[in-house]
Amino acid sequence: MRVNTTVTNVLDFIVSSARNQKNKIRERQVNTFVGNVSFHPFLQPIFNAAGGKVVGCEVLLRVKKKDKFISPASYIKYLENSEHMNAIISKLLKDVADFFSEQGNLLPDDFYFSINIYAPQLVSPELVRNILSFSNTLRGKARLVLEIVERGTLQLDEATLGVMEELMSQNIRFAIDDFGAGTASLKYIEHAGFSTIKIDRELTLSSGNMLVHQKVIDAIMMLSSRFGLSVTAEGVENAVQLELLHKAGVNSMQGYYLAKPMKMPDFRNNYL
Ligand code: G
Ligand code: MN
């Protein structure tokens, strides 16, 4: 028994040192990466249900490496867990606020900027200050929506829920991102103050002339109407999806069929 316990302890020690070692290597890789690239906002228009009118846009992080802009999708989870993420998001917010503070009068009424925030980031005072500063700079011109993402299961602790309440009192709204892809967003729908559900693109797929997940979409529409939430469909890639999601009652649409993410001047020139 004693021997077994000792063996287990040694094994635990080896596994945890290996993990620490791996984390350190990862940390160094992230630091090197961050030092060699720059971070920029791209905007993807979000349209009304019929797909004809721009109602807002999602601010997406793009990484510039040797004059090329790339999506950070494959390593976003390492960035999100690094000390750099707050500064990266703060920089995106500042770039967008600077650009549109001069051209804010071009924005349509009730326009909003929506940006992904990794749930654990919300307790950073520096980030919260920058979020408020964005909202103040564009006050009266556009609203800010924070799309709460959590890789895996959404967990909001008391501190995070407190910050959300504070931000909501400043006119900032919250969306649940990638809805349906995780497992536990439902428990937050009733009391956490979300105003929008963004249906994950895996649920908005069509096949032939049908939505693959029509019944789930119908159920989400029922749920959202019960809670007074607005629904955005993500990943709209063809006309069939657009029509069927419109018919299902989805309020707004986002996806490559309508528009891809683009640089801010292109967004202004094409959509404002
Ligand atoms: O998780 P989130 O919803 O924030 O994902 C946004 C990402 O989805 C962006 O990087 C964007 O490029 C990508 N995206 C936007 N529209 C589409 C689409 O129609 N199809 C696919 N596959 N990806 C999309
Ligand atoms: Mn998003």
pLDDT surpassing 80 at residue 135: yes
Q: Would strands 252-253 and 38-48 be described as parallel, antiparallel, or unpaired?
A: antiparallel
To test the pocket of ligand 1, the residue of 39, 44, 254 to mutate (highest count of ligand atoms within 8 Å of its CB) is 44
CB of residue 261 inside a 6 A radius of ligand 1: yes
Q: What is the pLDDT of residue 3?
A: 64
Mean pLDDT across 104-119? 93
pLDDT surpassing 70 at residue 66: yes
Q: What is the pLDDT of residues 68-87, one digit of tens each?
A: 999 998 888 889 888 899 99
Q: What is the pLDDT of residues 25-51, one digit of tens each?
A: 888 888 888 888 999 999 999 999 998
| Ligand 1 atom, smallest distance to 147 CA | 4
CB of residue 45 inside a 6 A radius of ligand 1: no
Mean pLDDT score of the chain = 92
Q: What is the pLDDT of residue 189?
A: 87
DSSP letters spanning the chain: -HHHHHHHHHHHHHHHHHHHHHHHHHHHHHHHHHHH-EEEEEEEEEEETTSSSEEEEEEEEEEEETTEEE--GGGHHHHHTSTTHHHHHHHHHHHHHHHHHHHGGGSPTT-EEEEEEEGGGGG-HHHHHHHHHHHHHTTTT-EEEEEEE-SSS----HHHHHHHHHHHHTT-EEEEEEETTSS-THHHHTTS---EEEE-TTTS-EETTEETTHHHHHHHHHHHHHHT-EEEE----SHHHHHHHHHHT--EE-STTT---B-HHHHHHHH-
Predicted TM-score (pTM) of the model is 0.92
Q: What is the pLDDT of residues 148-204, one digit of tens each?
A: 987 767 788 899 999 999 999 999 999 999 998 876 678 888 888 999 999 999 999
Q: What is the pLDDT of residues 139-159, one digit of tens each?
A: 999 999 999 987 767 788 899
| Ligand 1 atom, smallest distance to 177 CA | 3
Q: What is the pLDDT of residue 188?
A: 87
pLDDT surpassing 60 at residue 1: no
Q: What is the pLDDT of residue 246?
A: 98
Q: Which residues surround ligand 2, an ion (CB under 5 A)?
A: 116, 147, 177
